[in-house]
Amino acid sequence: LLQIKAKGVTMTALLAKATAMALVQHPVVNSSCRDGQSFTYNSSINIAVAVAIDGGLITPVLQDADKLDIYSLSRKWKELVDKARAKQLQPQEYNSGTFTLSNLGMFGVDRFDAILPPGTGAIMAVGSSQPTVVGTKDGRIGIKSQMQVNVTADHRVIYGSDLAAFLQTLSKIIEDPKDLTF
């Protein structure tokens, strides 16, 4: 992970890629109920990420995040943030998300709840990584960095058991990030 970050890849890009990879395995979590009645199982994995801008918030979208390599994804993310801050995003670049990330970890926030944007199926709130006392595999006590994530979902289409399976997969991807570079 440190080797990837040393090449200029942001934590947001890493989280978006890991999330997209987990969504490939759990497509129901990438679904939505846009009109309040019918469900859409989205064929694309478009990760929207909340960004603070002057006067509010916007969610630039990393289109087909599962298909881009981590380095391309990171470059695209930097480009989208620059466009967002300059108020130059086109509608397709902010209104096409199928899953939303809100990362306040970069501000030192360790946990929070995110409100589900209308028309989307789920949003994940990501807190900062904190050193935590844990039991190790050999039965000893150790310190491990742990990150709190919290998912808010539309339960008309995504059940708690779906989210639990998705979060287990996401955890495995983040804990063993070698696959993120593909």
Catalytic residues: 155
Instruction: Scan for tokens 């967002």, then name that residue.
Output: 84
Contact between 100 and 122 (Cβ < 8 Å): yes
**Sign of the CA dihedral 173, 60, 62, 96?**
positive
Spatial CB neighbours of 151, under 8 Å, sequence gap ≥ 6: 122, 123, 124, 125, 163, 166, 167
List Cα–Cα distances, 5 to 30, 68, 87, 164, 177, in angstroms: 27, 17, 27, 28, 12
Interior angle at CA 12, CA 6 and CA 18, nearest 5: 95
Determine the residue type at 121.
Answer: G
CA distance 137 to 105: 27
Contact between 66 and 21 (Cβ < 8 Å): yes
